[in-house]
Chains A and B, each alone.
Chain A
């Protein structure tokens, strides 16, 4: 299956801002994060303030890292909140 990943913030400089990825049928957010971490060269951790949305829904409201991905999903990675 194919998902689109949009990446914001600092991680985008290593991964690019938009990726179309071919994933296994049983892919989850956890396996996707593992795949991306491999490309960045360091772990990508949600508890570091990274927000993950699947089709606009925060994974905290879905099944967390175990959230299953489906064909055509849009996954968005956002950096921690800041600003002022």
Chain B
């Protein structure tokens, strides 16, 4: 099988600086716009930072669900691409995702999903530069593990909270 790009994520190493969101929106929107960033850090409780972005499921349920064929899979990177002309902002892909990853853009309302910046993602550059490595890019063959990362952020947050704070973690979430 061919190697594809994937972003490794380790929530426990995320500081919550959200420079990933800054550079994502600079790249895709031309300006700093955290709510339009394709990578989103959820912070439901201090210290509990959830790195939330497309997991590139092996069966791509969002692409399957799109009623107007606005979503496709990039042949090289295997990222999900959104045809913004075709997208009708119906929200079906949002519902189809097992991880609640896609969202409708705060400006034009179109579906927004990480496109891996064509294979050289901006977000990982700043995270690695800062020495955090909460996210970094790898080139690996696709496998079934990836879909395991498509989990609702608040569910992931409960795990992280317990990891960080022990029993107290159950309480604060």
A touching B, CB within 8 angstroms: no
